[in-house]
Amino acid sequence: MNHERSRDLYDRALSVLPGGVNSAVRGATEPYPFFAESGDGGHVIDADGNRYVDWLMGLGPLLYGHDTPEPVSAAIQSHASQGPLYGMPTEIEVEHAEFVARHVPSVEMLRFVNSGTEATVSALRLARGHTGRDKVVVMQGGYHGAQESTLVEGDADHVQPSSPGIPASFAQHTIPVPFNDHDAITEVFEERGHEIAAVLVEPILANQGIVTPVEDYHETVRDLTEDHGALLIWDEVITGFRVGGLQCAQGKYGIDPDLTTFGKLIGGGFPVGAIGGPAGIVEGFTPSGDVFQAGTFSGHPVTMAAGLESLTYAAENDIHEHVSALGEQLREGLREIVAERAPSYQVAGVDGIFKVHFTREGAGEVRNAADVKAGETDRWRSVFRPAMAEEGILLSQNQFESQFVTYAHTEDDVEETLTAYEATL
Ligand code: PLP
């Protein structure tokens, strides 16, 4: 494959964009990222005209791959040509909020924002305002966007910011615990439960490999938060409207969080975030409450139209069933290949997300972020991913991000991908 144009664009980009990109993970591939030119169903075409089966899929916001269904395109175009925004409320925001409240079990009311990061920032502010407490519990390796409270590393006893530029005093309010460890979070609540405003957790760790919850883990966390007067916030930025269909992961796992953060699919491919929950908590936001929250672009009509129409189309056309079935077909094929060619590796994922963990021999089942990190991540990055790209299969930029199945993917895409895994593993 020829990548000359991508290389030249990257060279130019390095002069005007830090690291040549506008989001860190895009620069994670070596020696340089491929620049995208266009999409076509389940495929993406790069700046040199190379065509790939695309499992990166914008990192999650594209339920229909690169083909937008006609009613969705029409709604986007009509709203884009009408303004496109006003600084005044619009009907489409109300309709979208009504749709989400109808489908997501714990959501009665929503505040729309512009990114998943903004959603988690605002949710934590709301939880702290609601409880009058400062501390938040997060999972080691959980990701909640580029925000001060959650960019931390360490454990419950020794925590520090994971990035320069964040005051150490901020990190002192965050308590990281290992995912799927009942004892660790129980101990934290026994010692500091009265100080904890919230637990912020992804239902499935989806940015540190894919790690699904062990039995009763979420039930334990739900009980602990209830018993100690803390809020349970589920970060469904990735799982929302992808895992568990329109009910999201909370419907699938039968847990009612106090707050839910959304992003990605709720905006149908446009910049979005949202915080949802019962009115008694969400009304804490200004102007109905005192917890300040605002945004020029929040509830943008084009985003609202894209999000509402794409989820409505999904509700009317069994889209999630198709995506999940194709996802299972892919995972099943991967399990067979892994069993034969790399028996220590593990296939992860559920519904429309998948990943192969490059676990080392004797490592045991992946239960948390540390288990994923201990795998052959260098092999994945330097050898495996580039080789898959040469075979025409585009995977996520590193070993930790999820890969996404969409309605545009076909059984042929799955077969082509399995053949490439077989050749490359
Ligand atoms: N929360 C989770 C679970 C995410 O996966 C992400 C991004 O991937 C975010 C929050 C941040 O969302 P955004 O990148 O839209 O700010």
373 is catalytic: no
Mean pLDDT by 10 residues, the chain (425 residues): 97 97 92 96 98 98 97 97 94 98 98 98 98 98 96 96 96 97 98 98 95 97 98 98 98 98 98 98 98 98 98 97 98 98 97 97 93 94 95 95 98 98 96
Quote the pLDDT of residue 209: 87
- The pLDDT value recorded for residue 213 is 97
Distance 44 CA to ligand 1 centre (A): 22
Contact 421, 229 (CB under 8 A): no
Backbone angles phi, psi at 180, to 5 degrees: 70, 15
Helix (H) and strand (E) counts in the chain: 15, 16
Contact 329, 410 (CB under 8 A): no
d(CA 331, CA 314): 23
| Confidence (pLDDT) at 249 | 98
Burial class (CB within 10 angstroms; exposed 0-12, middle 13-18, buried 19+) of 411: exposed
Ligand 1 pocket, CB under 6 A: 59, 115-117, 120, 143-145, 202, 206-207, 235, 237-238, 263
Nearest CA to ligand 1 atom 12: 116
Please state the atom number of ligand 1 nearest to the C-alpha of residue 117.
Answer: 16
- The per-residue pLDDT for 83 is 86
Give the pLDDT of residue 30.
85
Q: Is the peptide bond before 176 cis (omega within 30 degrees of 0)?
A: no
22 CA from centroid of ligand 1 (Å):
15
